[in-house]
C-alpha cells in the first residue's frame, strides 16, 4: 500500500512499522495542540483519526494522560481533602492506597476499561490482604504466625470493602469526567453484590431500663450519655460532641450541632454532617436529671485535675482530665456495661430503635416525642404510642427512678 494520503484522510502518514495521524484539538487549558494516533495499518489509524475528530468537536481534549495513580493522588489532595469531611478523606485515601493503586495504579487514565475494573474487583475478592499488605510481616519475628511464615490466613476483603473500593474509584472517575480528562466513567458500569446487613434485634424497653438502672446504681461516669442515646436516639459522635452551651436547663432543650469524630490520628470536634442534623430537642425529665448529675460529677473532676484539666470546648462528656472521649472507647464501654448488667450485647447504633418505645414508657407527650423522633407527621408517632407498654416495663422505669434517687 502506498504511503500517499487518501482524499479526506488528512494527516495520516507512514510511521516506523505502521502509520500515524494527528488532529488539532483544544486542550482543557484552552490552548491548541496536536493529538496523535498510531496503528499498524492505514485503515486502523483512519478509524482512530475519525474518532479523534469526533472527540475534538465535542469539546476540550487532553493530549497527555496521566496514570490512574497520578490522577488519584491529585484527586485526594486537591479535591477530596479541601472540600469533604476529614473522615471522608481518610476513607477514600485508605481505599486508594490499599485496594485501588496496587492493582490499577499503573494503567493510563484514558485507557482504563470496564473490563479492567470488573477483573480488578473479581481478583480483589480472592487476594489475602494480610499477604498483600504484609500485616504479619510487620510483626516482630516471634509474633509472626501466618502469612509471613508461609501459612496464609486467607484474610479476604469483605463485600463491604469491595463495594467501598468500587465506590471510591467511581467517585474519582466522576471528577475526571467533569474535568474532561476522560469521556465516561467506566466504574459506574460495573455492579458489585451489595453487602448483607445482619439484622440485630434491638433492646426492649425493659432491657434498656435495666441497663440504665444498673448504670445509675453504679454511678457510671457515662450514665447521662447512655440516657441521651436511649431516650433521644442521639448518635455516638453527637453525644460526645455536646457542650454545656448546647443545654438550656430552664427551657428543657438540647441543641445538637457538633460531633466528635476520629479521623486518622486526630480526634475532631466539628459540625454535624448536614444542617438537617442540627436541631433543638426537648429534654424529658429523666434526661435533665441525668445531665444535672453529670455537671456535678464533672465539677468534681475539674477540681481534682487542677492545672492538668484540658477541656477546650466545654464538652459535657470528657475523661477525668477534660480531654475528649475516644469514640471507639465509648463503643467498647457500652458493651462492657451491657455485659455487666447481664444483657445481650447489641451495637451502640442499634439503641436508636429502642428510643421510641422508651419515650412511650416514660409517658412523654406525643407532640414532644414527634420532635425527638423527627417524625414529619404526628400519625407516625401515634402508631408508636398505640402500642401500650406492659406493666413490667412500667416497673422497670420505676426501678430506674429509684436508682436515681426517686427523680425522673
Q: pLDDT by residue (tens digit) across 276-296?
A: 445 678 888 888 999 999 999
Give Cα separations from 355 to 135, 259, 381, 394 (angstroms): 41, 20, 12, 15
Please report the pLDDT score of residue 294 as a whole number: 93
Measured distance CA(102)–CA(69) in Å, rounded? 9
Q: 258 near 271, Cβ under 8 Å?
A: yes
Which of 219, 222, 223, 290 lies closest to 254 in space, CA to CA?
290
Which residues in the chain show pLDDT less than 70? 1-10, 28-29, 62-64, 272-279, 357, 361-362, 371-376, 380-408
| pLDDT score recorded for residue 407 | 47
- Using a cut of 0.95, tell me whether the model's pTM lies above it: no
C-alpha count within 13 angstroms, C-beta hemisphere, residue 27: 10
List of E strands, 305-369? none
pLDDT of residue 381: 66
Burial letters 240-259, b for 16+ CB under 10 A, else e:
bbbbeebbeeeeebbebbbb
Q: Which domains does the chain have, with CATH numbers?
A: 12-58 (no CATH), 68-189 (1.10.150.130), 205-403 (1.10.443.10)
- The backbone torsions φ and ψ at residue 267, rounded to the nearest 5 degrees and listed phi first, read -105, 120
pLDDT at 117: 96
- Taking Cα atoms as reference points, which of 394, 354, 389 lies closest to residue 208? 354
Tell me the C-alpha distance between 311 and 309, whole Å.
Answer: 6
pLDDT at 408: 44
Q: Is 176 helix (H, G, I), strand (E, B) or coil?
A: helix
Angle, alpha carbons 203-204-207 (nearest 5°): 75
Which pLDDT does position 58 carry in this prediction? 79
Q: Answer yes or no: are the C-beta atoms of 311 and 305 closer than 8 Å.
A: no
Instruction: Render pLDDT for 229-275 as a digit per residue (tens, 0 to 9).
Output: 888 888 888 899 999 998 999 888 888 888 887 877 777 777 766 55
Amino acid at each position: 500500500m502506498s504511503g500517499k494520503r487518501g482524499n479526506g484522510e488528512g494527516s495520516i502518514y507512514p510511521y516506523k512499522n505502521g502509520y500515524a495521524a494527528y488532529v488539532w484539538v483544544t486542550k482543557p487549558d484552552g490552548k491548541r495542540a496536536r493529538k496523535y494516533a498510531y496503528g499498524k495499518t492505514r485503515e486502523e489509524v483512519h478509524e482512530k483519526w475519525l474518532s479523534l475528530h469526533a472527540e475534538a468537536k465535542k469539546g476540550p481534549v487532553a493530549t497527555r494522560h496521566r496514570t490512574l495513580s497520578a490522577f488519584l493522588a491529585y484527586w485526594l489532595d486537591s479535591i477530596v481533602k479541601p472540600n469533604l469531611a476529614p473522615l471522608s478523606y481518610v476513607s477514600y485515601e485508605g481505599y486508594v492506597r490499599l485496594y485501588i493503586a496496587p492493582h490499577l495504579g499503573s494503567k493510563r487514565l484514558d485507557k482504563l476499561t470496564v473490563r479492567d475494573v470488573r477483573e480488578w474487583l473479581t481478583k480483589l475478592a480472592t487476594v489475602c490482604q494480610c499477604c498483600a499488605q504484609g500485616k504479619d510481616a510487620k510483626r516482630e519475628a516471634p509474633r509472626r504466625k501466618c502469612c509471613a511464615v508461609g501459612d496464609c490466613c486467607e484474610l479476604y476483603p469483605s463485600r463491604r470493602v469491595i463495594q467501598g473500593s468500587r465506590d471510591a474509584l467511581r467517585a474519582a472517575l466522576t471528577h475526571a469526567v467533569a474535568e474532561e480528562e476522560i469521556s465516561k466513567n467506566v466504574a459506574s458500569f460495573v455492579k458489585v453484590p451489595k453487602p448483607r446487613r445482619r439484622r440485630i434485634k434491638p433492646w426492649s424497653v425493659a432491657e434498656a431500663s435495666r441497663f440504665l438502672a444498673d448504670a445509675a446504681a453504679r454511678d457510671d461516669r457515662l450514665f447521662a450519655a447512655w440516657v441521651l442515646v436511649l431516650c433521644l436516639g442521639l448518635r455516638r459522635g453527637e453525644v460526645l460532641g455536646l457542650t454545656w452551651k448546647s443545654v438550656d436547663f430552664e427551657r428543657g432543650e438540647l441543641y445538637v450541632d457538633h460531633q466528635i469524630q476520629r479521623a486518622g490520628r486526630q480526634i475532631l470536634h466539628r459540625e454535624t454532617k448536614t444542617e438537617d442534623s442540627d436541631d433543638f430537642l426537648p429534654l424529658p425529665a429523666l434526661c435533665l436529671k441525668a445531665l444535672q448529675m453529670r455537671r456535678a460529677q464533672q465539677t468534681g473532676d475539674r477540681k481534682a485535675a487542677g492545672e492538668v484539666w484540658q477541656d477546650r470546648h466545654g464538652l459535657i462528656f470528657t475523661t477525668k482530665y477534660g480531654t475528649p472521649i475516644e469514640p471507639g472507647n465509648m463503643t467498647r464501654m457500652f458493651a462492657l456495661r451491657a455485659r455487666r448488667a447481664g444483657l445481650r450485647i447489641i451495637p451502640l447504633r442499634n439503641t436508636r430503635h429502642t428510643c421510641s418505645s422508651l419515650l412511650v414508657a416514660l409517658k412523654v407527650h406525643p407532640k414532644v416525642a414527634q420532635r425527638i423522633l423527627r417524625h414529619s407527621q404526628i400519625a407516625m408517632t401515634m402508631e408508636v404510642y398505640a402500642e401500650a407498654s406492659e406493666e413490667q416495663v412500667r416497673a422497670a422505669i420505676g426501678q430506674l427512678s429509684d436508682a436515681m434517687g426517686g427523680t425522673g
